[in-house]
Amino acid sequence: MKSKIFQFMTVYPRIFAIITVTVINLLYFLIIRLAEPNQSRVLWLNNFLMNVGSFAVLMALSWCWTKYRNHKK
C-alpha cells in the first residue's frame, strides 16, 4: 500500500515540489539565523522576503511556461 505522501506526489507533482522547496528554504533560513546571531532582524526579514519573492516569481514563470507549452500542442 502506497503512502499518502507518495500518492500526493504522483497526483500533484508541481505542488509537492513547491512545498518541498519552501520547507527547505525555511529550514535554510532558520539555520542561517541561528548561525549569525549578530544580524539584525530587519535585515534578516528583508533577506527572507526577497528570497520568498524571487521563489514566487520563478514559480509564476514556470507556470506561465507550462501553460505556453501546453497551449502550443
Count of other CB atoms within 10 angstroms of residue 69: 9
pLDDT digits (tens, 9 = 90+) for 13-27: 777 877 887 788 778
Burial of 42 (0-12, 13-18, 19+ CB in 10 A): exposed
Record the pTM: 0.47
pLDDT digits (tens, 9 = 90+) for 31-60: 776 767 676 778 777 877 887 888 788 778
The number of residues in the chain equals: 73
Place of cell 506526489: 9
